[in-house]
Amino acid sequence: MIRIDAVTKRYPDGTVAVDRLSLEIPDRAITVLVGPSGCGKTTTLRMINRMVEPSEGSILLDGQDIRQQPVNTLRRSMGYVIQNAGLFQHRTILDNIATVPRLLGWSKQKARERAAELMERVGLDTALAKRYPYQLSGGQQQRVGVARALAADPPVLLMDEPFSAVDPIVRKGLQDELLRIQDELGKTIVFVTHDIDEAIKLGTMVAVLRTGGRLAQFAPPAELLSAPADPFVEDFLGADRGIRRLSFFPSAELELQTAPVVAIDAGAEKLASRGAAPYLLVTDVDGRPLGWGAPDDLTAGEIDRDRLLPYGRPFVPGTDSLRTALDGAVLSPTGWAVAVDGEGRAVGVVSQQVIGEAVRAAHTAGRPDAKAAR
């Protein structure tokens, strides 16, 4: 655990960047520092690897004051990733990644083997190994930055706005990759961002800082969304807080109906016996949804494939969240969301009303499932 204990940083010009900050950063989890520009995120991160020294207070790593070990030993136990990756422009990708192992005295061959292994781990084609940084896209460079920080297998990873300079689609890919790597490696990650959505997606714990370097709230993302500590945090979280919180509740318990699901080759008899359901979800013969059959067509006793209504975005119960299920229902012209299995076959449908009841239950009782958001 990294324990930040009543730390203040006052720069020589008198600026108080961090003000009596105390945080307990858990092992093997992602802790995000988030807040508006200038609130002291970078200063806090840099105090952890002693690029900046606190004016007051102390930082403990596994119970030991970080000032008690040589700064080089400390930094070797902490990978560091920054915006724009900060790669050595005159070194190949492979040699960039091999930098720290080489400094640690590994042979060239062993360091390069390790670098190649890491390229694969962060989703980089090893065919890029001999290129130079300028020959890579921004997203690829950022992956190299992550690989380089992981090269000596440090237990701690400090990441300062690592994905801020890339476009939203590349950024989502990098975030997903980080979560995947973290599932495999279980590092203690401290991640700085000014983007609250990124904080909510990545953080196991999120520290919201306010200008002046004071802690506004330190909580798991679902708790931030359900119980912001004050108007500043509430404002910083932005709109749609209630809807976004549904990401943390699973859709697995929604009661599905299977009666309104019919295959495209269903006979008139089956269509006539549809009971109270105004629409039927028509699937292909393998069970994959094609669209909703409108009442008039069904009454005529046949399905006209060309007249089916779109079925919105299906959800996978057990994998997707209540938010995805609700989104599916909202997008569907019938107000019913379509549930599918991992192969995309319809397993049932669920009405907006049933989802609404689950949402109410989630808001009043249920504990959010921290994993459902991913």
Element (H, E) at 183: helix 168-185
Among 7-15, 69-77, 123-131, 171-179, which window interacts with ligand ATP (CB under 6 A)? Answer: 7-15
Choice from 2, 4, 31, 43 touching ligand ATP (CB under 6 A): 43
| Least CB distance to ligand ATP at residue 293 (A) | 53
| Least CB distance to ligand ATP at residue 177 (A) | 23
- Is the Cα torsion angle 109, 115, 119, 120 positive or negative in sign? positive
Choice from 6, 11, 286, 363 touching ligand ATP (CB under 6 A): 11
Q: Counting beta carbons within 10 angstroms of the beta carbon of residue 3, is it exposed (0 to 12), middle (13 to 18) or buried (19 or more)? A: middle
Tell me which amino acid residue 360 is: R
- Phi and psi torsions of 337, nearest 5°: -95, 150
Per-residue contact flags (x/-) with ligand ATP for residues 194 to 223, judged by CB under 6 A: x-----------------------------
Distance CA 323, CA 300 (A): 36
DSSP 130: T
Output 34 or 359, the one with its CB closest to ligand ATP.
34
**C-alpha distances in Å from residue 314, one per residue of 172, 240, 278:** 21, 21, 19
- Is the Cα torsion angle 259, 263, 267, 271 positive or negative in sign? positive
Among 32-40, 282-290, 301-309, 364-372, which window interacts with ligand ATP (CB under 6 A)? Answer: 32-40
Query: Is 154 one of the binding residues for ligand ATP (CB under 6 A)?
Result: no
Output 176 or 195, the one with its CB closest to ligand ATP.
195
Choice from 42, 92, 142, 283 touching ligand ATP (CB under 6 A): 42
Residue 350, classed as helix, strand or coil, is strand
Query: Is 21 one of the binding residues for ligand ATP (CB under 6 A)?
Result: no
Among 41-49, 148-156, 282-290, 291-299, which window interacts with ligand ATP (CB under 6 A)? Answer: 41-49
Choice from 2, 4, 39, 271 touching ligand ATP (CB under 6 A): 39
Distance CA 139, CA 234 (A): 32
Among 37-45, 60-68, 164-172, 320-328, which window interacts with ligand ATP (CB under 6 A)? Answer: 37-45
Choice from 2, 21, 40, 279 touching ligand ATP (CB under 6 A): 40
| Least CB distance to ligand ATP at residue 60 (A) | 21
Q: Are residues 241 and 225 in contact, defined by beta-carbon separation less than 8 angstroms?
A: yes
**C-alpha distances in Å from residue 365, one per residue of 204, 219, 235, 282, 324:** 21, 19, 24, 36, 20
What residues line the site for ligand ATP (CB under 6 A)? Answer: 11, 13, 15, 17, 35, 37-43, 194
